[in-house]
Copies of this chain bind each other. A is one copy, B any other.
Amino acid sequence: MEMRRIDPVNCSVARALSVVGERWSLLIVREALDGARRFGEFHSRLGIARNLLATRLETLVTAGVMRRVPYQEPGDRQRFAYELTEQGRALRPTLVALLEWGDTYLADPQGPSVIVRHRPVDEGSSCDEPVKVVLECAAGHSHLAPEDVCRTPGPGARLVESS
């Protein structure tokens, strides 16, 4: 029985993974979200090989996830730092989701190594409560279980024949 389904290749998940699905890319973004800015910071925090770090940063910059900004420490020459664009910061929910999944199923026996907290940049430590990622629909139903959602074709869907 033939049916038409969403083309799995023309999908934003696949496109997203083609940008941030390479080894190290999401870890670089995570460190950037945590304040890393300079080549050497990424290198020493992650232990990634230098040449790979250079190509990953370049990939992330051309993809619009990061931006290369010149900086100059007093009494030193000009160097470059890497900071997240708004597009890069928008990966936070993805990283929180991965963190939560890892904490739930692969955690250290000691407990989670990282807790994400509600701590706005401008106010002090107003709330500080742990943050979770939740699925919520446009009608306001929140905390949906994974089984309560399904994929449907959108306006840009290509449909393909499939068994």
Contact = CB atoms under 8 A, between A and B. Distances in A.
> Most chain-B CB neighbours within 10 Å: which of A19, A103, A148?
A148
Contacts of A12: 98-103, 106-107, 112-114
Given A23-B21, A131-B149, A154-B111, A102 B16 contact: yes
Interface string A20-45: 01010011001101100000010011
Contacts of A109: 156
Nearest to A34: B151
A118 B141 contact: yes
Interface string A137-163: 111011010111111111111100011
A52 interface: no
B13 A98 contact: yes
A65 B116 CA distance: 24
A138 B92 CA distance: 17
B97 A45 contact: no
A79 to B, nearest CB: 15
B98 A133 contact: no
A101 B107 contact: no
Interface stretch (A54-62, A68-76, A119-127): A119-127
A134 interface: yes
Closest 10 CB pairs of A and B: A12-B102, A110-B156, A16-B102, A111-B155, A92-B146, A118-B137, A108-B156, A129-B138, A112-B154, A94-B97
24 contacts: A8-B30, A8-B45, A12-B100, A13-B26, A13-B27, A16-B106, A17-B98, A90-B105, A93-B133, A93-B146, A111-B155, A112-B154, A112-B155, A113-B156, A113-B158, A117-B149, A118-B139, A118-B148, A119-B149, A129-B139, A131-B138, A132-B136, A133-B133, A134-B135
